[in-house]
A and B are shown apart, each in its own frame.
Chain A
Amino acid sequence: MATAAQRRIKSVSYAKYGYIFILPFFIVYFIFSLTPLLQTFVLAFQENGARTDLAWVGLDNFKTILAKPAENDFKALGIHESFWQGVINIMIIWFGNFLPQIALSLLLAVWFTDLRVKMPGKGFFKVVMYMPNIITAASVAGLFLSLFGDSSYSVINTLLKPDEPYKIITSVWGSRILVMFIQVWMWFGNTMIMLMSGIQGINESLFEAAEIDGATSTQTFWKITFPLLKTIMVYTLLTSMIGGLQMFDIPYMLHTGNIVNENIKTVAVFVYEMFHGNFAKPSFGYSAAASVILFVITSILGALVFYVQRDKDAIEKKKKQKQAIKEWKRKQKGGGFSI
C-alpha cells in the first residue's frame, strides 16, 4: 500500500512525537496510580500506626487477617473476624446478585433480539432499564432506605402497617437480599445491553436458517445463541467478579446512623474503614494486606479475561495457518501437474 516515499516519511523522525503524545498519561499514571500501588505493597509488610518510620513486620499483617490470632489478642481477633465476615458477605451478595442478574439479562437480550417477536417501543424499554445504572449510588441507597428502612415511616411500613415495623435493614438476610436486589436493579440493564450486542454479533443467517428449519425459540436459544455467546458470558462473569470484589457504595451506605451494617460489610468496606476510620491510629498495614489479597485475586481474574478474549484471535490465526498450508499444498500439487 504505502509507497517508498510514504514509508520514508513515516520512518524519518516522527518517533519522538509518539513519546510526547503518550508522556502525560504515563507521568500522571506513575504518580497517582503506580506509586500508590507499590506503596500499598510496602505498607502491607509494615506495622500499623501513624508513625513516619514504620517498622517492617514481615507477613504479620497477612497472618492476623488470614489465620486465627491468639484468643487473648482481642484487637487482632476483631480484625481477623471482620475480614472474614467481609469475605463471606461479598461471596453471598455476589452470588445472589449475579445469578438472577445474568438470567434476567439473558432472557431480555434474547427477547429484544428475537426476529419473530414484533416489538414497538424497544428503545423506550432499553432506556428505562438502563436508567438505574446512572443514578448516584448514594441516592440509590437513600431511596431504598426510605422505601425499606426500619423506621415505621418507611414506605413498606406505612403501606403494610404491621404491628411491629419490619426491620429489614438490621436483619441479617433482609439486608443482604435488599443489597442483592439493589445490585440487580442497578446493573441488569447494563448486562442486558452488553449481551444484546453479543447476540447481534452472531451471524443472522444462522437464526434465519433455524427458523426455516422449524426450530422453536427454545431450541434456537440452546443450540445457537447460548453456545455462540459463551465467550461474552464468560467475559461478563469475570468482569462482574472483579466488580463484585470492589462492591462498596451500597453496602457502605445502606444504614442510618454512623455504624456500617455488619451483615453486608464487604472486603472493600473493610479496607476503607481500616485506613479511613481512625486518623489518630490508622491501620494501614491490615488495610494494605487485604488490598494485596484483593489485588492478587483481581489479577488472576483479569488474566483469565485476557485469556478468554485472546482465544478467539488465536483460533483464527491457527485457521489461517492451516488454510495457508492447504493452499501451499494445493499449489505444490498444481505445480506437479504443470511439469
Chain B
Amino acid sequence: MSKKITYDSDKGGYQNKVIMKSAAIYAALILLTLICLVPIWILIVNATRSHNEIISGISLIPKGYLAENMKTLKENSLYNKFFHPLIGMRNSLIIAGLCCGLTVFFSGMTAYGLVVYDFKLKDPAFVFILAVMMVPTQVTAVGFMKLLINMNLLDSYIPLIVPAIAAPAIVFFMRQYMLSSFPLDIIEAARIDGSNEFRTFLTISIPMMKPAFAVQAIFAFISKWNDYYNQSLVLVSGKPNQITMPMMVQKVIAIDRNADYGANYTAIFLSIIPVVVIYIILSRFIIGGVAAGGVKE
C-alpha cells in the first residue's frame, strides 16, 4: 500500500505494465505461430525443390521444381506402384463424403426422435447412447475384424461407410443443440397444417438445425478423411486403386532406400492440400465448433 503516488503517474505505470505484458505475450505467440507454421512451410518449399537441392541444405524460398517432382511420382516405379494422388483423393472423397452425409443426416434424425417424441424407451435409449459414447474404436477392432471376415466384407467400402450412420457422440451433441434452441411448437404447427412427421423433419427441422449440421458435417468430413486406422484395417490387401490418401502417404514414408526426397515431400504436400484448404475457408466455423464442445476426436 506504499503506492500512494498521484493518480496520473500511477495510471501511467499501469499502462506501461499492460503494454510490456502485451509485448511479451505477443512475442510468445509469434514464436508458437512459427513453431506451428515452419514445419508446414518447409514441407511446401521442399515440395518445390529437387532431391539434390534438398539434401544439400534447407531453404525457406520456394523453387520451381514441383512439376518435376510430380512427374517423378508418376514415373518412378518406387512410387507409381501405389501412389496415385488423384485416385487416392477420389477414394478418400467417396468415403469421407458419404460418411459425412450419413453421419449428419442420421444423427440429426436420431436426436430429433429423442427430443421431439415421447415414448417408453426414450430415456433408456439416450442412456445407452451416453454409455457407448466413449467406447474407443480400437477396443472393438478385433471383433470388427472377425465380423468382416465372417461377413466377407474385407476390401470393401461398406464397413467404412455404413457404420457412419451410428455416431453416438454426434447424436449427443445434436440432442443438446436441439434441446437448447429448437422450438417444438413449430412441429405442432406443422402437424395442424397437415404435414406428416417425415416431411416436418426434412423440410422444417433440418433447415432450422443448419448451424449444428454444418459444424458436425465439417468435423465428420475431416475426421473421416484423416482416418487411417479403420481404412487400413478394412482395406487389407492395399489395392492401389482402392486405398485412400492417408494409406498412400503411409506407404510413401515407409520407403527406406533410394527415396527421392523431392517426391516424398510432394506426396505429403499433396495429401494435406485438401484439408488445409477446407480449413482455411471454414476456420471460423471450425474454431467455433471446438469451442462449443462438439468435437470428440
Contacts and interface: CB of A to CB of B under 8 A. Distances in A.
A136 B96 CA distance: 13
A193 interface: yes
A137 B226 contact: yes
B249 A295 contact: no
Interface string A255-278: 111100000000010011011100
B152 interface: no
A135 B276 contact: yes
A155 B110 contact: no
- Majority secondary structure of chain A interface residues (helix, strand, loop or mixed): helix
Contact of B18 (A34, A117, A141, A272): A117
A185 to B, nearest CB: 7
Contacts of A126: 287
Interface in B117-173: 117-122, 125, 130, 132-147, 159, 162-163, 165-166, 168, 171
Contact of A141 (B140, B168, B225, B253): B253
B197 interface: yes
A134 B275 contact: yes
B57 interface: yes
A118 B132 contact: no
Contacts of B35: 185
A147 B42 contact: yes
Contact of A256 (B54, B110, B256): B256
A253 B253 contact: yes
A169 to B, nearest CB: 11
Contact of B43 (A37, A143, A284, A295): A143
Given A18-B117, A129-B32, A298-B134, A134 B279 contact: yes
A25 interface: yes
A222 interface: no
Contacts of A317: none
Interface residues of A, number: 101
Contacts of A24: 106, 109-110, 165-166
A159 interface: yes
Contact of A118 (B18, B134, B146, B168): B18
Contacts, number: 301
B197 A17 contact: yes
Interface of B: 18, 21-22, 25-26, 29, 32-33, 35-37, 39-40, 42-43, 46, 54-58, 106-107, 109-110, 112-114, 116-122, 125, 130, 132-147, 159, 162-163, 165-166, 168, 171, 188, 191, 197, 201, 222, 225-226, 228-229, 232-233, 236, 245-247, 249-250, 252-256, 261, 264-265, 267-268, 271-272, 275-276, 278-280, 283-284, 286-287, 290-293, 295
Given A147-B39, A298-B134, 8 more contacts: A21-B117, A24-B165, A39-B146, A137-B246, A143-B40, A194-B291, A272-B141, A298-B135
Interface of A: 6, 9-11, 14-22, 24-26, 28-29, 32-43, 108, 111, 116-119, 123, 125-132, 134-139, 141-147, 152-153, 155, 158-159, 185, 189-190, 193-194, 196-197, 217, 242, 245-246, 248-249, 253, 255-258, 268, 271-272, 274-276, 279, 284, 287-288, 291-292, 294-295, 298-299, 301-302, 305-306
